[in-house]
Chains A and B, each alone.
Chain A
Amino acid sequence: MTRAVLIRKVVFAALAAALLAVSGRSFHAHRHLREPVVLGPGVTQVKTLGAYGPGVTGTVNDINLYMLEGVEPGGTALVLGGTHPEEPAGRLAAWLLVEHATIRKGRLIVVLTANRSASTVTRPSAAYPPTYTVPTAWGGQTFRMGDRFSNPLDQWPDPEVYIHYPSRQYLAYVDVRNLNRAYPGRANGSLTERTTHALMELIRREGVDVVIDLHEAELQYPVINTIVTHQKGQDLATMVSMTLSDLEGFDIGTEFSPLNLHGLSHREIGDHSPAVSLLFEAPQPFLDATRGKTSADVLLSGQDEFVVKAGKHGMLFAPIDEKGWPIALRVGRHTSSVAQTLDTWTEDHPDRPIEVSAIPRYREVAQLGVGHFLKDPSASARVAFE
């Protein structure tokens, strides 16, 4: 090897090391970003999921459980945000519940990041922003953008075919890391299965009556602007849908959970526990296949000219115009839907009431923005981290 070749190799290796350092630092910062959440007046304690499933103890999915308990007994509701962390309205709506909701009767358990592993990675080749910042009066709060699937650093490799447990239904291989294809899970399964198993144990041991799983969907997906319900929750979902459409100023439909589509929360939680399971879908143009750039601005504004064009060609299942679907509308839909579900549940089950107040509703979130309702962690002594 000549001296010139040796020098060239050293220079190339140094360049590669620099590239490695820059990219590695970016990935590390995203994976370890700490998101503060101010514990609101209703939060009485913060547990972790490992208390219900030792299989997640010490893992990235040993997630926080925010317990909001009333002074009087009643029913129990569980709200899941962050099942799919690339759908931020679900997480942010849950955030507002933790920071604002107060409980008089019953209990509300809130999860902000059901699949924290999936919140530490973005979709390969999709050019997602690693984070997004919601503007606030105190400067803004930054959140991790995530993926639909658990981080390959936490669960890898994927199988050729994902065989769902216990149905043995064949699903797409990548769904082996999809939390909403892994219910009811198993204690000795993959990290994603252990997480859903622990969530099922939480539901069973705490006697949860209603489970609400918060999602967003692309406008080219037919299940959108709707409540998907297990058959046990048909009456509840229908009444909530009618009331919201009448009183809150936005339309939301109901759909029944398919009996033979396995792994989803609205199917398996209802089948494997006494709880009623519901899943809410809000529209998110950012996820559409026809969308343009995948910037944090588009993620929050919900404005995309290409999705609008797709709508003009009749390719969408939800309306959209140049105003798009801003994050405030998507979050407001979820917070109002949760509040109305608990109200309706309490009316129908006076023996198991869940009386919750101070949840920001659709109109005020739409008018004031999500940032108006995010509390400044530096001004509070009660802060947890996601």
Chain B
Amino acid sequence: MWMLQSVITGAYYGLVAVAAVLLVANFIRTKAWDRELLYLIVLLPFVLRLLRLK
């Protein structure tokens, strides 16, 4: 049970990392300033979670 939960939590952090990488990639690719801001704002909670701050 404990091990299974650890695996699920690990997979969750993996998904968060993938989403964060995609957001960064989109931020770099886009040329629209409002999109750039949008990607960065959405990225913040993902990074806070990956850094285990929030």
A-B contact count (CB 8 A): 53
Contact of B12 among A16, A157, A188 (CB under 8 A): A157
B28 to chain A: which residues have CB within 8 Å? 9
A95 CB to closest chain B CB (Å) equals 27
Q: Is the CB of B40 within 8 A of A12?
A: yes
Q: B22-44 toward A: CB 8 Å interface, digit per residue (1/0)?
A: 00000110010100110011011
B41 CB to closest chain A CB (Å) equals 8
Q: A3-42 toward B: CB 8 Å interface, digit per residue (1/0)?
A: 0010011001101100110011001100100000000000
Interface flag for A170 (CB, 8 Å): no
Q: How far is the CA of A19 from the CA of B41 in the complex (A)?
A: 10
Contact of B54 among A1, A23, A188 (CB under 8 A): A23
Q: Is the CB of A153 within 8 A of B52?
A: yes
Q: Is the CB of B8 within 8 A of A157?
A: yes
Q: Is the CB of A189 within 8 A of B1?
A: yes
Known: A20-B44, A23-B44, A156-B9. A188 touches B1 (CB 8 A): yes
Q: How far is the CA of A259 from the CA of B48 in the complex (A)?
A: 42
Interface flag for A190 (CB, 8 Å): yes
Interface flag for B17 (CB, 8 Å): no
Contact of A13 among B1, B2, B40, B53 (CB under 8 A): B40
Known: A20-B47, A23-B44. A8 touches B1 (CB 8 A): no
Q: How far is the CA of A157 from the CA of B52 in the complex (A)?
A: 14
Q: Is the CB of A12 within 8 A of B36?
A: yes
